Structure 1
Amino acid sequence: MNRSMITATNTMTQLQKQLDNISHNISNVNTVGYKKRETNFQELLFQQFNNQPIDRNEVGRLTPNGIRQGTGAKVSHTSLQLNQGNIITTERMLDIALLKENQFFEIEVDGQTHYTKDGSFSLSVLPSGETQLVTSDGHPVLSETGAIIFREGQTGFSISNNGELTVNYEDGSSEAFDLSIAQIQRPQLLQSAGSNFYALPNLDNLGILEVDVFAAINRNDISVQQGALEQSNVELQKEMTEMINTQRSYQFNAKSISIADQMMGLVNGIR
């Protein structure tokens, strides 16, 4: 197999990963709080041929001396884009939109803390008759002191701009909970955990301290809007354009394999 075939084959497998990522973004264009990922490439190792050993003969050259033959490109990583999506008003009391890019709701999934931008919360009745605030998938939403559980007889909810949830009861009393909201200053560490949730890897294994990941935050740093939801930040037109460009790149590399095969056939046919 000649070099052009190797280069094209290496690149095509990576372009397929980019297509998969774009398809995932498009499929979540209407997912509340979804944050798109962008694919980033890096060049594979290349071979340097110093065909001109006399530097003075290359005076005025604008490119590096020699010839470089690469072996293709690969996906280095996908970067999470946290730019704000559109805020739509729903008038629903338990819909909450975060208004700052790096802030996330904290929820509990199988005993672990996960993070999400999806503020479409609901109520779940516990066997004790009490009511718990949960996500649309039934996972507990956390306050600064743990799960948010109301006693019976609640009549309404109000949420202040700094994320304080107040529950009103039939007897005229009320109860307040501070929603647990994390401000993550290294969001690229977040890993998709399914259902529009994110999780952090084991920071000890990475040699990273929690203070390097979570920014110090107080209630005045939090900004939310009740009765509203943040939409996906996926721009469908941009993703479709990116998909067409990627498909053309894939076709170009496939064509180069076909041409290389034809050239090898011609060489082998020479008598």
Structure 2
Amino acid sequence: MNLSMISASVTMGQLQRKMDTLSHNMANSNTTGFKRREATFSDLLFQQVNNNTDTRYETGRLTPNGIRVGAGAKIAQTALRMEQGAIMQTGRELDFAIAERDHFFEVESVENGQATSYLTRDGSFYLSEDPQNPNALTIVNAKGDFLLDGGGNRFTLPMNFSEIKLSATGELEAILNDGTTQDLGQLQLIRVLKPHLLEAAGDSGFKIPDLAGLGFAEADVFEQVAGDEGRLIQSSLEASNVNIGQEMTELVNTQRHYQFNARALSMADEMNGLINGIRR
């Protein structure tokens, strides 16, 4: 296999990864709180092939002597883009839209008796029976995972409530049937200072990796902030930040680049066939 075939085949594999990323973005264009990813490329190793030149014929030349032969391109990184999505009013008391970038809800998942937490910007929550108190309710997401308050605890609501309100300071309050108000706890957000460290956990969720192994302190990566009215909007949801038109244009361009490299691979194969068919 010659160098032209190597360069084309390697680049085609990386372009396929970019098309997968674009397709993933487009498939989640209607997913609440989804954040798109963007793939960027860099050159692989290359070598400079120089030839013995006759300086008499190099007068006025602007390009360097020889030829630069590369081995294709690779995806340098797939960056998480945290631009704010559109805010949509829903009218549901348990819908909360985050109005600040790099802020997330903390949600607790229980699997095989083990409780683990993850971050999400999907603010669509529901009421479910509290497994620790059958006479009370708790707040969960669509997967049944528990929303956590400022102390890392689950919210507990009485059965006899008529309304849930978010105060200006980020406190959740339940209006009971008798008109009294019961404080449910502080609705907390996690501000991630280095969002590029987040690891995808599925369903628009993210987990924080082992910071000690990466050489980071927790204070350098995230902090807890109150979900006050400047950061949260009740009865609303944040839409995905995917722009279908932009993603479709990028997908078409990527497909064209893929076709060009496929054609280069085919032409190199044809040339090899011609060379092999030469007879003395």
Question: Which range, TM-score by smaller chain?
Answer: over 0.9
Change (3 A) 1:52 1:105: farther
For residues 61 and 197 of structure 1, do their structure 2 counterparts lie closer, same or farther at Cα, with a shift above 3 Å needed? Answer: farther
On the 8 A contact 1:37/1:79 being kept in 2, the answer is yes
Amino acid at match of 2:273: G
Partner of residue 126, structure 2? 122
Q: Please report how far the alpha carbon of residue 173 of structure 1 lies from its aligned counterpart in structure 2 after TM superposition.
A: 3.6
Following the alignment from structure 1 to structure 2, what is the Cα–Cα distance between the partners of residues 104 and 58?
61
1:182 partner amino acid = I
What is the alpha-carbon distance in structure 2 between the residues aligned to residue 222 and residue 151 of structure 1?
28
Residue 140 of structure 1 is matched in structure 2 by 146
**Bigger mean CA offset, 230-239 vs 197-206:** 197-206
Measure, in 1, the Cα distance between the counterparts of 2:86 and 2:270. 52
Tell me by how many angstroms 1:152 deviates. Answer: 2.5
The separation in 2 between residues aligned to 1:263 and 1:65, in whole angstroms, is 26
Q: Distance in 2 between matches of 1:80 and 1:186?
A: 11
The 3 A distance-change label for structure 1 pair 235 and 90 is: same
CA shift for structure 1 position 217: 3.8
Superposed displacement of residue 65, structure 1: 5.5
**Amino acid in the other structure paired with 1:268:** N
Distance 1:237 1:81 in 2: 16
In the TM superposition, residue 223 of structure 1 has moved relative to its aligned partner by 1.2
* Residues 1:216 and 1:175: Cα distance change in structure 2 (over 3 Å): closer
> Any conservation in 2 of the 1:99–1:225 contact (CA below 8 Å)?
yes
Contact 1:123/1:131 (CA < 8 Å) preserved in 2?
yes
- Contact 1:131–1:149 (8 Å) recurs in 2: yes
Residue 246 (1) aligns with residue 254 (2): yes
Offset at 1:95?
A: 0.5
1:23 to partner: Cα distance: 0.6
Moved more, 17-26 or 166-175: 166-175
Question: What SS does the corresponding residue of 1:147 show, helix, strand or coil?
Answer: coil
User: Aligned partners of 2:82, 2:58: CA distance in 1, in Å?
Assistant: 47
Q: Percent of counterpart pairs with the same letter?
A: 43
Contact persistence 1:158–1:165 (CA under 8 A): yes
Structure number with the higher strand fraction is 2
Q: Which residue in the other structure is 2:26 paired with?
A: 26
* Aligned-residue CA RMSD (Å): 2.2
Counterpart of 1:265? 273
Runs of 4+ in 1 over 6 A off after TM superposition: 52-55, 57-61
CA distance in 1, matches of 2:130, 2:224: 34
Q: Is residue 96–residue 227 contact of structure 1 (8 Å, CA) maintained in 2?
A: yes
**Which residue of the other structure, out of 213, 218, 243, is the alignment partner of 1:205?**
213
Runs of 5+ unmatched residues, structure 2: none
Tell whether the 8 Å contact from 2:147 to 2:155 is kept in structure 1 after alignment.
yes
What is the DSSP-based 3-state SS (H/G/I as helix, E as strand, rest coil) of the residue aligned with 1:18? helix
Per-residue Cα deviation, 1:185-213 (whole angstroms, up to 9, x for no partner)? 10011111011111111111111111111
SS of the residue aligned with 2:35? coil
> Which residue in the other structure is 1:14 paired with?
14
User: Quick check: 224-233 or 127-136, which moved more?
Assistant: 127-136
